[in-house]
Structure 1
């Protein structure tokens, strides 16, 4: 068993004031205007700007968002070529438009060692994150078919800014690089196949990441979970030969009266559905059912790296949901941590069982805020599609999380917890059933289930990322195929907001 986390390192990001002679490609942004298009940050190109603009427009560049056009560089530029990427109009442009444009540019430049860009003159943080994440590749298990030289990601990006030594710019770049690395770490964990990332290995990788970041780490094995009464985690994990774990990672950056935040993430390292087995088609994508846990681990490590002045503790349940002679059955009753009994109607509604145990444990620390995230329900995708997370919880905090998520480009949407659905979780033989007896409002019913375990007075948000955490389609913008790292950027931005606002 390896205890080392395999982390993907992105391109080296460097602040620069001019285009270096070693640069191979210059990336520029194109903005739509009433008079056509213009190059954003054209001052860095000097006299070559007019020639570049004429060349890209001759090839049909219109400035449409994410449109990529590459042309040979004029002789006055110390580079072989120029890549122009569309930004839309100034009115349409947001940080995430810029982030997506930078990601599209990075994906178009595999095999290029050294790049410079004027996108950083528009928005340094967004350009840096987009280029780093757009260059992301996961090739850990392609040992006999390593990427050809012309398919390797960008090695270095010079981010052109007016004052490369400016302290604010340097701090902004350092944060952006740390955020992008955290997202890449979450992606790596999600993309690691379940043959190599099972509960014990996941726990060891989380331990290694936490120890390196200076976190307090606790790992409970199956014996400790059994003794502690973690019936949800044990119940889900008992069908597998690879037993469950519970990991606790704590960052103590706050003072006596600083807010405290609990993070909880679903860590099902593979989900067959158990006895209520899933259809075979697409089951391989259930390697992503630990994406919530990956995001939570990456986020608490990032909080430590950014030295946020708050206390953050991640409680991360990890299990593999398998059918076997020892697996829990539909109709079984288990006891969640804290004493609530649950009739298991559907063993494929297992995420809420392990989350409930973790939420009760997290609330024993009496946090001010609690965020849990999970690839919890297919109903999330039915309701909101594959790119929009659903957020439920206490209304004020739910709306705060959703607003921040929309601002930073992960675009979560606030959803209700209708009281009329709660009686449908009543059980004939136990305190609760783990699913309703109908298919309506499945995402909301799962949120209502989790609500039963959140302590009174805790501001709580549940983020369902069943679709957004794993991209089964083609890459787009700064989003690669496979693990996306959603919602790391939402959670770290919420933590920063809490640290600033309380």
Structure 2
């Protein structure tokens, strides 16, 4: 359960006349002092008063900074929240070269502002919104920043996010931008909910039930394979990983097929609802956040629902490979050989390299329908965090698919970086008893995991692999529009890929 539904609307009212409990004013940093950007018009007296107040509290307009001050004379709102835009250039919003970066500044500023408010006030956001895209960015940041996960609290939290937010925009199409943001925000927050849910309650069966319930009322078809069906049909990766738990694996297929769709996007999500490491047991401290090992499946499912909600003219399928990786007398052992769906055999040398096994099953199944583009999403390796940190996802795969995803990520503000597939790494997976083994050397672990998955992608298939191990779950303090816990990465990028693929 997230915070209450937030009403975000577009409003053409001038900032000084906006009647709200709080007027949020974006301020850029100019020579170490805060200044109003062009397009935010206030009476001269109010501007002077704001400048003096900002200087008095040491507010410089730095990114992610904010300061609450009394409303100056001539401003209808009860108070003003200043939020930093950094060295923001207003011309970037209407240009091509810097528009993506400018929109991300606006998202972060709106998210920072909403997170700073805790009394349920009504809010008017006065940030540079001269285009529908800028208004969409502001609405997205506000909606994501307002997120809270309160399902398991015995009493409501003291903090109450704003439930009524208006985006002040001078663009006649600003309302369309705000409207476009709503399904994307909702999908991202639903993915956050799934990632935040404790593994006691979220396991393969209940995950499948949750997405099946969400599909009702949407033009989305749901197919679920249970443990017996998986074993009978040869899904050896899911069966092997899931056999150590009494809560058996599932493969869920979600399908959205509008009549006018000319292209087909297949999403494949890793859904390990809890990862103990299996018999190759993780250290205790490494298990603390392993409820989040299903973030890839959460992102795939919720992105597909948003694609359907937006009515994008593209066929989309999501394959959710769900299992719980537990140690028991029934668990798979190092040295076991399993047969992945489609026939390839894998020697299991490390049961904690399990995500690639369930993904292999689902990747092969997804390709049987000849999609135009396949994207798998997984919290796959700790090596991703070592290489790229906790905010940047690694993108691998065929060149065209990889670059398509990276460009889409640039438009949404989700940080991703293209990574190579050095050919010499493949030899690490040579096995003496099977077609390949599931683990190799420690160095280049993120790349190695992707190279393993490439063994299950047919020649000529456009395929991208996203390793989101760090960015999908924030173990540090909230920042911008990103909360602690589940982040919803990379839901927005997947939606953008679908939009571009459909020609929207």
Q: Which range, TM-score by smaller chain?
A: over 0.9
**Which residue of structure 2 lines up, in the alignment, with residue 12 of structure 1?**
7
Taking the TM superposition and a 5 Å limit, the aligned residue runs for 1:307-322 are 307-322=311-326
Residues 423-445 of structure 1, C-alpha deviation per residue, up to 9 Å, x if partnerless? 11111111110011x21111111
Residues 449-489 of structure 1, C-alpha deviation per residue, up to 9 Å, x if partnerless? 11111122211000000000000011011100000000111
CA separation of 1:326 and 1:46: change in aligned 2, threshold 3 A: farther
Shift, 1:14, TM fit: 1.3
CA–CA distance in structure 1, aligned partners of residues 271 and 383 of structure 2: 19
Look up the SS of the partner of 1:121 in the other structure. Answer: coil
CA separation of 1:254 and 1:352: change in aligned 2, threshold 3 A: farther
Q: CA contact under 8 A between 2:85 and 2:105: conserved in structure 1?
A: yes
Q: CA contact under 8 A between 1:10 and 1:133: conserved in structure 2?
A: no
The reply on whether 1:158 has 2:153 as its aligned counterpart is no
CA–CA distance in structure 1, aligned partners of residues 34 and 65 of structure 2: 13
Shift, 1:158, TM fit: 1.1
CA separation of 1:420 and 1:282: change in aligned 2, threshold 3 A: closer
The reply on whether 1:400 has 2:400 as its aligned counterpart is no
What is the aligned length?
488
CA separation of 1:326 and 1:126: change in aligned 2, threshold 3 A: same
CA–CA distance in structure 2, aligned partners of residues 34 and 239 of structure 1: 60
Q: CA contact under 8 A between 2:64 and 2:479: conserved in structure 1?
A: no
CA–CA distance in structure 2, aligned partners of residues 419 and 250 of structure 1: 35
Residues 264-304 of structure 1, C-alpha deviation per residue, up to 9 Å, x if partnerless? 00000000000000000141200000000000000000100
Q: CA contact under 8 A between 1:120 and 1:159: conserved in structure 2?
A: no
Residues 342-371 of structure 1, C-alpha deviation per residue, up to 9 Å, x if partnerless? 100000000000000000000000111000
CA–CA distance in structure 1, aligned partners of residues 75 and 420 of structure 2: 55
**Which residue of structure 2 lines up, in the alignment, with residue 461 of structure 1?**
464
CA separation of 1:478 and 1:35: change in aligned 2, threshold 3 A: closer
RMSD: 1.8
CA–CA distance in structure 2, aligned partners of residues 300 and 186 of structure 1: 11
Taking the TM superposition and a 5 Å limit, the aligned residue runs for 1:47-86 are 48-86=46-84
**Which residue of structure 1 lines up, in the alignment, with residue 191 of structure 2?**
186
Q: CA contact under 8 A between 2:33 and 2:55: conserved in structure 1?
A: no
The reply on whether 1:177 has 2:185 as its aligned counterpart is no
**Which residue of structure 1 lines up, in the alignment, with residue 155 of structure 2?**
145
Shift, 1:247, TM fit: 0.6
The reply on whether 1:96 has 2:91 as its aligned counterpart is no
The reply on whether 1:200 has 2:205 as its aligned counterpart is yes
Q: CA contact under 8 A between 2:4 and 2:163: conserved in structure 1?
A: no
CA–CA distance in structure 2, aligned partners of residues 487 and 379 of structure 1: 18
**Which residue of structure 2 lines up, in the alignment, with residue 351 of structure 1?**
355
CA–CA distance in structure 1, aligned partners of residues 457 and 221 of structure 2: 24
Taking the TM superposition and a 5 Å limit, the aligned residue runs for 1:24-423 are 24-33=21-30, 36-40=33-37, 41-43=39-41, 48-91=46-89, 94-119=102-127, 121=129, 123-142=134-153, 144-148=154-158, 151-162=159-170, 166=172, 168-253=173-258, 255=260, 258-423=262-427
Shift, 1:36, TM fit: 4.5
Which moved further from structure 2: 412-421 or 73-82? Answer: 73-82
Q: CA contact under 8 A between 1:270 and 1:288: conserved in structure 2?
A: yes
CA–CA distance in structure 1, aligned partners of residues 32 and 291 of structure 2: 49
Q: CA contact under 8 A between 1:120 and 1:128: conserved in structure 2?
A: no
CA separation of 1:351 and 1:43: change in aligned 2, threshold 3 A: same
Please, which runs of 5 or more residues in structure 1 have no aligned partner?
1-5
Look up the SS of the partner of 1:112 in the other structure. Answer: coil
Look up the SS of the partner of 1:78 in the other structure. Answer: coil
Shift, 1:219, TM fit: 0.9
CA–CA distance in structure 1, aligned partners of residues 363 and 449 of structure 2: 14
CA separation of 1:476 and 1:125: change in aligned 2, threshold 3 A: same
Please, which runs of 5 or more residues in structure 2 have no aligned partner?
90-97
The TM-score normalised by the length of structure 1 is 0.94
Shift, 1:492, TM fit: 0.9
The TM-score normalised by the length of structure 2 is 0.93
